[in-house]
Structure 1
Amino acid sequence: MTLTEQLLQELAKAGGRIVKSGSGPDFEKWPSRVAAARRSGRIPEAKELYENWCRGGYEIKLIDIPAWRLAVLAPVPVPSRLTRPHTVVRAMQNERQPLGLTKPVQGRALRLIQALITATEDEGHTCSAGQTGFAPPSHRRRRANPHFTITAQDQTVGFLVPQEQDPAEHVATEKELADAKKHSWVRIPRFDYTPSERLRFIISGGQPHRASEWADTPGRPLEEQLAEIAQEVTLRGEAAERRRRDEAEAARQKRIRWEAAMEQARIRYAEAYRVRHLESQEAAWRHATRLIEYVSAVRTRVEAMPPGQTRIEAEAWISWAASTVERLDPLHTPPRLPDIPEPRADDLKPFLGRWSPYGP
């Protein structure tokens, strides 16, 4: 049995995922073994090997190939002439140097863009022009403002269409050599760059699926890759829509949990209010009991006093004190649950834990 067959058998028994651990030369061979398994032709159809270093060692998984990668894409037709250019393409045509490209490639670039826009609008997407007359410098072209955008399901995807440059060994001039000898900061470039007839599509925005760049290659010009680029726009729009739905559902679930927490907080607040009321009633009862004892002691003393104005005034005080103590004694009226006042936000905070009383 070959190593590839052993690996696939082990993955099948483990449910499609294994983690190799250890050390030494044998452990370090796993990346090359996985690469050999990919080349072997023994990977099941519609499956692919995924490998990655992880905390436990070297993870290997046999996963399903996404359906979008197995889809058969219809070629995107590229017009031979721009007889009815799209408004975005027309905006580019009106520039002195469309997209900042040299003349030999301008016409082809505009026809490729026309074909891509037509294909994506057929899918229900919308397009708009960006900065149509500039070529970003190579060191920042991946962060430059797009030449045009395509919006799929509210996901805006930006497009840059730069011209590839062919490098050639730079031959230093006498002036450059003299300047470099005279000034330490002078750097003689290693290469000269000449615009080629090859183009590149660089896209930004949204979640990448296939890639973020497509370029002319000797065996596959951009004309043959437009279907993939159009599909990428759709995939990014669908991913954005899924993310929005997931976020909306997560927000809905969070609000449900918050509302449940608020309800529990109100219940706990009401119970805490009743407990505080009970404690205040108990304190009032103890206070009234002490006053009753005091008034009783005073009455005993006054009853021993001789008749006269002083006793009359003392008995008047006892009468007032007795009635007052009766009002202060909570047992004077039957007990009942207190009315719970509507809680303010700050009243609920102690019962909410990590939640805010103002919203989820």
Structure 2
Amino acid sequence: MHALLTASERNGHTCSAHAMGEGPGDNRCFSHDPHFTITAQGQTVEFRVVQETDRSEHIPTDKELADAKKFSWFRIPRYDYTPSDRLRVDLRGGQLHQGSEWADSSERSLEDQLSEIVHEIGLRGEAAERERLAEVEEARQSHLRWEAAMVEARAQYAEDYRVRQLESQAAAWRRATRLSEYLEVARARAEVLPPGLEKTKAEEWIEWAMGHVAREHPMAQPLRLPGIPEPRAGDLKPFLRDWSQ
């Protein structure tokens, strides 16, 4: 393990030891804290060093045979497990490449496989770095797409604002035209009234009304592109399509 940690640090990785509580001697699940971790390019790989066991057929004792006859719930184990002189290293964390466990075997000792473990750590670190760079690039591309969408949304917002102003001016023109037509009829009616209070009041009303129509008539205003107000919160949402979800 010292050789493994030294080689890992020589490759630029960082190592950290962990406190281990008691746990099963040959547990292939990481149900307990790792013995140590090695972090390669931001990817943390957890390690557990396990003493493997040997399994042999269990020979029932006289007491076990008697208990099995006496108690219906008693079960005689089929196998006995004894600690061996073999070790296994389990790895967890990151993208698996060549394996997640290495152990002593009759063909190769664990010491002879340390270079493979070091290589696996490096591969997992490289994969993590590629994933990180891909995420950074995706975030950059997403930001560029967002900026482009915002430019397009602002352009569409401006176009929509101009269209609404145009429609508003057309509606105001129709209203002013209708009122002007009405006032022409009203003025003709007032001209035939006999002199007196009724005619005076009618002429006062028509004079004010004609002034009001003249002031509000869109043709009395300069014809030019309207200024586009700065969009408020939510104004651009209808033009952002998928970005507005």
TM-score range, shorter chain: over 0.9
2:229 pairs with one of 341, 344, 349 = 341
> Among the aligned pairs, what percent are the same residue?
60
* Counterparts of 2:98 and 2:213, CA distance in 1: 86
* Counterparts of 1:185 and 1:341, CA distance in 2: 83
Question: Aligned partner of 1:319: which letter?
Answer: E
> Given that residues 132 and 148 in structure 1 are in contact (C-alpha distance below 8 angstroms), is that contact kept between their aligned partners in structure 2?
no
> Given that residues 203 and 213 in structure 1 are in contact (C-alpha distance below 8 angstroms), is that contact kept between their aligned partners in structure 2?
yes
Residue 239 of structure 1: aligned partner: 127
Shift of 1:317: 0.5
Q: Does 1:207 align with 2:115?
A: no
- 5 Å-filtered alignment, 1:2-151, equals 113-132=1-20, 134-136=22-24, 138-139=26-27, 141-151=29-39
Question: Aligned partner of 1:251: which letter?
Answer: A
What secondary structure is seen at the aligned counterpart in 2 of 1:150?
Answer: strand
Residue 147 of structure 2: aligned partner: 259
Q: Does 1:322 align with 2:210?
A: yes
Cα deviations by residue, 1:253-288 (Å, 9 ceiling, x for unpaired): 111111101110110011001101111111111111
Q: Does 1:163 align with 2:51?
A: yes
* Counterparts of 1:271 and 1:202, CA distance in 2: 63
1:221 pairs with one of 90, 103, 109 = 109
Q: Does 1:297 align with 2:185?
A: yes
Question: Aligned partner of 1:332: which letter?
Answer: A
Question: Aligned partner of 2:153: which letter?
Answer: A
* Counterparts of 2:7 and 2:31, CA distance in 1: 25
What secondary structure is seen at the aligned counterpart in 2 of 1:312?
Answer: helix
* Counterparts of 1:279 and 1:293, CA distance in 2: 21
Unaligned runs of 5+ in 1: 1-112
> Given that residues 26 and 51 in structure 2 are in contact (C-alpha distance below 8 angstroms), is that contact kept between their aligned partners in structure 1?
no
Shift of 1:163: 0.6
Shift of 1:239: 1.1
What secondary structure is seen at the aligned counterpart in 2 of 1:142?
Answer: coil
Residue 188 of structure 1: aligned partner: 76
Cα deviations by residue, 1:284-303 (Å, 9 ceiling, x for unpaired): 11111111111111111100
* Counterparts of 1:182 and 1:243, CA distance in 2: 62
Q: 1:297 to 1:187 in 2, by over 3 A?
A: farther
Question: Aligned partner of 2:221: which letter?
Answer: T
Moved more, 150-159 or 343-352: 343-352
Greater gyration radius:
2
Shift of 1:231: 1.2
Unaligned runs of 5+ in 2: none
> Given that residues 284 and 330 in structure 1 are in contact (C-alpha distance below 8 angstroms), is that contact kept between their aligned partners in structure 2?
yes
Residue 201 of structure 2: aligned partner: 313
> Given that residues 170 and 189 in structure 1 are in contact (C-alpha distance below 8 angstroms), is that contact kept between their aligned partners in structure 2?
yes
* Counterparts of 1:137 and 1:333, CA distance in 2: 91
> Given that residues 198 and 215 in structure 1 are in contact (C-alpha distance below 8 angstroms), is that contact kept between their aligned partners in structure 2?
yes
Question: Aligned partner of 2:11: which letter?
Answer: E
What secondary structure is seen at the aligned counterpart in 2 of 1:192?
Answer: strand
* Counterparts of 1:229 and 1:247, CA distance in 2: 27
What secondary structure is seen at the aligned counterpart in 2 of 1:195?
Answer: strand
Q: 1:292 to 1:206 in 2, by over 3 A?
A: same
By relative contact order (CA 8 Å, sep 6+), the higher-ranking structure is 2
Q: Given the two structures, how large is their TM-score scaled by the length of structure 2?
A: 0.93
* Counterparts of 1:234 and 1:173, CA distance in 2: 51
Question: Aligned partner of 1:290: which letter?
Answer: R
